Amino acid sequence: MSYQMISFSVVSLSLLAAGSLNFPQKEGHDEAHMQSMRECASVCAECQVECDSCYEHCAALVTGAKKEHASGMKACLDCAQCCSLCSSFCARQSPMAASAAEFCAQCCEDCATTCEKFPDDPKMAECAKSCRECAKECRAMAKMAK
């Protein structure tokens, strides 16, 4: 992951957490739904950063002849991209946000399951935890949108 991508993610996450990004109220969205979208956007952004970091961790392990971590690389890369998309959709309150959140939840569950295959690896355990939290938040937001 490039320094620019990390910087953008961290800045966006910081703005979300500080409440500096404005979320215009969309027709049909009550305050609770808008808050759920803000929270989902923030949690997805955090998970994206965690998955990108875990991808790098797995890549280093694979390079060091631990080929069993190749599945972790793929799962983390897919999950990071799903989380990035979902975070963007939620942040701008896209009509597709609920669908993106449902898909993101599945990507996060898959990534967590893959990372949990390595219980003695703290980085992978941290990634799995972040993914489980993100899946939970995505499902809650998607449910509220229905």
| pLDDT score, position 23 | 42
Helix (H, G, I), strand (E, B) or coil at 30: coil
| pLDDT score, position 89 | 97
| pLDDT score, position 90 | 96
| pLDDT score, position 32 | 87
| pLDDT score, position 29 | 57
Query: What gap in Å lies between CA 90 and CA 43, rounded to an integer?
Result: 11
Q: Find the mean pLDDT for residues 65-80.
A: 96
Q: What is the pLDDT of residues 6-57, one digit of tens each?
A: 444 544 544 444 444 444 444 555 888 899 999 999 999 999 999 999 999 9
Query: What gap in Å lies between CA 44 and CA 11, rounded to an integer?
Result: 14
| pLDDT score, position 27 | 52
| pLDDT score, position 28 | 52
121: pLDDT strictly greater than 50: yes
Residue for token pair 């049909």: 28
118: pLDDT strictly greater than 90: yes
Label residue 128 by pLDDT band (50, 70, 90).
Answer: very high
Domain formed by 32-145, architecture: Up-down Bundle (1.20)
Residue 80: name the closest of 55, 48, 54, 109 by CA.
Answer: 48
